[in-house]
Amino acid sequence: MDLESIQQALRAAGLDGWLFYDFRGSDPLACRVLGLPTGVHTTRRWFCFVPADGEPVRIVHRIESWALDHLPGKKRTYLRWQELHEAIRETLQGVSRIAMQYSPLCAIPYISRVDAGTLEMIRTLVPGIEIVSSGDLVQQFEAVCSEPQYQSHRKAAELLGQLVDETFQEIGRRVRQRRKTSEYEIQRFVVEWFERHGLVTDHPPIVAVNANSADPHYFPSAQRSSAIRAGDYVLLDVWARLDEADSIYADITWVGFVGSRVPAEIEEVFAVVARARERVVAFLRERWAEGQPVRGFEADEVARRTIEEAGYGDYFIHRTGHSIHTTTHGNGANLDSLETCDERLLLDGTCFSVEPGIYLPGRFGVRSEINVFLWHGEVHVTGPEPQRRVLTI
């Protein structure tokens, strides 16, 4: 645990402290921020209160009194539930405003880890205490990247750009040679490419042909896969990171057409999606240059308005972007005003995708995904030059 950094963040946020709570691994965010050793399994409730100033307090069950011994501060043990209540009451005496992994109305499910009963207990034991969401605090310790992590992302993004080129070339080569090929076979081509180039991923990529591309989460498999032929439209979504500790993912989506002439409707829909993508980047750069804060939902609204103005609003069925970190979907702010209203700030040092899409059921879907890194006061679009037109394969 980086106690000094946590306490600095608490003071900057005007908070008296941060109360962490876990029961049987219910809050992985708490475990990571506090640096709980991996592989440790606890079966009793524990609390850790980190004040804005002063010494932390660890509250653990007598059976597992060792659970938080890696942390600094005072340790209090309990056996009976009454002793737990008393320890909490005394620890929070004189405290008026704290953060917990809580999200009002469960607006941000990623953050909403503390159950309603535990919140009721804290409010009952400490009358008048104000509990606020730790959403932006979590970002600072779970989403902000170091210089080596930033460089790892840039390298992964460059490799993914190379992969996209080679994958579409492979599709074109197989089709011209009249070799039988399919979504699944191209997916295997990508996975093997990852292995050769030192990349790892948490799931094989999306390779979706024609109507399959209208499902944003379609995945081919050995049991479910469509052939790829001349005249087909192909969506390719790839994500991976360097095979190194703490490296950051890159995640991009490109689309192509197996032929020399892209159908006009596909070109039209792609143009709308690309325009929405570019407007988000322009919005971010304008606000960032002015030193103005940006919240996740605001960036989503920019893309959504663009697609709605073009008449495709009903077919943009997911958020504009997600946080990216050591997992594909990180714990930072998402660009989302649809599935949630993500009011978390976009912080310097964080990475996220910008990936508006239009999905026409039974026909085709278009998504154009880039990655943005907010780095030292600038908005960086990483990886290959963003796609401007549907590729001809």
369 with 381: CB under 8 angstroms? no
252 and 338 in a single domain? The answer is yes
CA distance 29 to 27: 5
pLDDT of the residue at 337: 97
Q: How many CA atoms lie within 13 A of 47 on its CB side?
A: 27
Q: If you search the block for the tokens 């989503």, which residue do you land on?
A: 300
123 and 175 in a single domain? The answer is no
pLDDT of the residue at 201: 97
125 and 151 in a single domain? The answer is no
Find, among 363, 329, 365, 332, the residue nearest to 346 by Cα: 332
Strand partners, 18: 50, 99
Residues 6+ apart with CB under 8 A from 30: 20, 21, 22, 36, 48, 101, 113
Using the Cα atoms of residue 138, residue 144, residue 149 and residue 155 in order, give the sign of their dihedral: positive
Q: What is the pTM of this model?
A: 0.92
pLDDT of the residue at 52: 97
CATH number at residue 28: 3.40.350.10
Burial class (CB in 10 A: 0-12, 13-18, 19+), 267: middle
Domain that holds residue 209: 147-392
3-state secondary structure of 116: helix
174 with 181: CB under 8 angstroms? yes
192 and 260 in a single domain? The answer is yes
158 and 175 in a single domain? The answer is yes
How many domains are there within the chain?
Answer: 2
233 and 363 in a single domain? The answer is yes
210 with 232: CB under 8 angstroms? yes
pLDDT of the residue at 171: 98
Read off the pLDDT of residues 210-246 as tens digits, 9 standing for 90 and up: 999 999 999 999 999 999 999 999 999 999 999 999 9
Read off the pLDDT of residues 155-187 as tens digits, 9 standing for 90 and up: 999 999 999 999 999 999 999 999 989 999 999
| Domain end among 119, 142, 165 | 142
CATH number at residue 231: 3.90.230.10
18 and 96 in a single domain? The answer is yes
Residues 6+ apart with CB under 8 A from 121: 85, 88
38 and 91 in a single domain? The answer is yes
**C-alpha 107, offset from chain centre:** 15
Residues 6+ apart with CB under 8 A from 370: 252, 277, 281, 353, 354, 355, 381, 382, 383, 386
pLDDT of the residue at 264: 97
pLDDT of the residue at 99: 98
241 and 339 in a single domain? The answer is yes
109 and 166 in a single domain? The answer is no
Terminal Cα distance for the chain, rounded: 51
183 and 304 in a single domain? The answer is yes
Strand order of the sheet with strand 97-100?
A: 74-78, 57-61, 46-51, 17-22, 97-100, 130-133
3-state secondary structure of 11: helix
- All residue ranges of the chain with pLDDT < 70 are none
336 with 300: CB under 8 angstroms? yes
| Domain end among 107, 142, 177 | 142
pLDDT of the residue at 38: 75
333 with 319: CB under 8 angstroms? no
pLDDT of the residue at 41: 84
125 and 96 in a single domain? The answer is yes
pLDDT of the residue at 265: 97
| Domain end among 142, 162, 191 | 142
What are the two backbone dihedrals, phi and then psi, of residue 206, each rounded to the nearest 5 degrees? -90, 125
